[in-house]
Amino acid sequence: QVQLVESGGGLVQAGGSLRLSCAASGRTFSRYAMAWFRRAPGKEREFVAALTQTGSSTYYDDSVKGRFTISRDNAKNTVYLQMNSLKPEDTAVYYCAAKGGSVYRRALEYDYWGQGTQVTVSS
């Protein structure tokens, strides 16, 4: 069982930056592939980024590639999402998620979810 708690969301102007954190409970964090998803108002939840257990491989949706960076610190049981050059269309609730095994881009593949943190980008 893994419990995930996101933090770091807020209101930022377009072009600004935010860093989201997701703290995981338990001693098995390093066994999980981790991902960030987001849900904008009136839209489906969508994949943002993911990385493998060691962090050696990372994956991004095309909409955030080159602007967002996912990373993890297994010693701190934490995964991060550095978001730069933010756009109004990045406005959403951001969720972190965990799963054993390989990385997938589909939300249904993930077993554990945080409660989400709101990111609002003003134009």
pLDDT at position 61? 98
Residue 30 CA to residue 114 CA, distance in Å, equals 17
What is residue 26's predicted lDDT score, i.e. its pLDDT? 79
pLDDT band at 1 (very low <50, low <70, confident <90, very high): confident
φ, ψ of residue 117 to 5 degrees: the values are: -135, 135
* Phi-psi region at 53: left, alpha or beta (left = phi > 0; alpha = psi -120 to 50): alpha
Q: How many CA atoms lie within 13 A of 83 on its CB side?
A: 32
- 111 pairs with which residues across the strands? none
Quick: pLDDT tens for 71-98.
Answer: 999 999 999 999 999 999 999 999 999 9
Half-sphere exposure of residue 17: CA atoms within 13 angstroms, side-chain side? 8
Is the predicted pLDDT of residue 27 greater than 90, yes or no? Answer: no
Q: What is the pLDDT of residue 103?
A: 92
Token pair recorded at residue 120: 């609002």
Distances (CA, A) of 90 to 13, 57, 76, 101: 11, 23, 27, 28
Tens-digit pLDDT profile for residues 33-78: 999 999 999 999 999 999 999 999 999 999 999 999 999 999 999 9
Q: Residue 60 has which token pair?
A: 């991004």
Say what the alpha-carbon torsion angle 7, 13, 86, 10 is, to the nearest 10 degrees.
Answer: 10
Share of the chain above pLDDT 90, in %: 98
Average pLDDT, the chain: 96
Q: Which comes out higher in pLDDT, residue 21 or 1? A: 21
